[in-house]
Structure 1
Amino acid sequence: MDTNATRDLFDRYHACWEARDPARIAALHTPDSIFHLHSSQPPAQGREAIRTAAAETFALVPDLTFHLLALRVGDDFWAARMTMTGTSAAGNEVAVDLADFVLVRDGEVLEKHSYVDGPAMTAALTPPS
């Protein structure tokens, strides 16, 4: 792949997350892909597990939105810095920093490693007392 093809994949993939569509997200992954949200969750491996993990994310924050702050794209990777916003299922405002590192193989996502601001995410997901 070249950088333009990787950028096109990023745009299509990001659109799936913006549409909150777990099936379309999973379809852009390789069959053996890994999606790892590095916030004390084990990695999801394979399209079905990735679809489930994405659906669980949207259940936690049904109106989840991503605001792209920075993007670097290479022939077989992208790195992005974003802010996630929305309202959690617990009713709290979500405003959490996110960094993604994604490896690409043959036009599909091979590995997606997402790093979030853990304390901010925990606060957003915790029901008010």
Structure 2
Amino acid sequence: MTAATRDLFERYHACWKARDPDRIAELHTVDSVFHLHSGQAPVRGRTAIRESVAGMFALVPDLAFEFVSLRTGEDFWVVQWKLTGTSASGAVVGVDLVDYVVVENCAVKEKHSYVDGVAMQAALASPEAAGAKTH
């Protein structure tokens, strides 16, 4: 991982930790793609990425990322997280997430997020729909 890519990783993660959709979108290229691989279509461009990220924070207002592992290359990183928080419906969220990020000109060109979709859907369901189970 180059120093520039490592710096981008650190700044990008800090924006997610701060739950700041504006700053997250600014770190993407103008034509960037963000794809949450759990049934959603990819979004393209900073405005759409900002809206998508803001929507995620609305679903899980206290969204947090517990670092698990990081693999890097000159123009990419792959990071594994444990995603945690409380959904807007009150259910506890605790799911596995892997991000594959492609870097171009010191900005995020592509972000592919692979999440445990079954666990995420169960967590985002209302407590009544999920059988009042939380984990």
Normalising to structure 1: TM-score of the pair?
0.97
Query: Using the alignment, how far apart are the partners of 1:108 and 1:5 within structure 2?
Result: 10
Q: Partner of 1:86 in structure 2?
A: 85
Q: Partner of 2:6 in structure 1?
A: 7
Structure 2 residue runs without a partner (length 5+): 129-135
2:2 paired with 1:30: no
Q: Partner of 1:73 in structure 2?
A: 72
SS of alignment partner, residue 62 of structure 2: coil
The Cα shift of 1:4 comes to 1.7
Q: Partner of 2:46 in structure 1?
A: 47
Q: Which runs of 4 or more aligned residues in structure 1 lie more than 3 Å from their structure 2 counterparts after TM superposition?
A: none
Q: Report how many aligned residue pairs link the two structures.
A: 128
Query: Using the alignment, how far apart are the partners of 1:8 and 1:73 within structure 2?
Result: 12
Give the AA of the match of 1:122: Q
Q: How does 1:110-129 map to 2 (within 5 A)?
A: 110-129=109-128
Structure 1 residue runs without a partner (length 5+): none
Structure with higher RCO (Cα < 8 A, 6+ apart): 1
Query: Using the alignment, how far apart are the partners of 2:127 and 2:11 within structure 1?
Result: 36
Query: Using the alignment, how far apart are the partners of 1:53 and 1:73 within structure 2?
Result: 25
Give the AA of the match of 1:33: S
CA offsets 1:65-86 (integer angstroms, 9 cap, x no match): 0011000121100000000101
CA RMSD of aligned residues (A): 0.7
Same amino acid, percent of matched pairs: 62
2:103 paired with 1:104: yes
Q: Partner of 2:62 in structure 1?
A: 63
Query: Using the alignment, how far apart are the partners of 2:39 and 2:71 within structure 1?
Result: 26
CA offsets 1:60-117 (integer angstroms, 9 cap, x no match): 0000000110001211000000001010001000001000000000000000000000
2:19 paired with 1:20: yes
CA offsets 1:39-72 (integer angstroms, 9 cap, x no match): 1101010000000000000000000000110001
Query: Using the alignment, how far apart are the partners of 1:66 and 1:36 within structure 2?
Result: 18
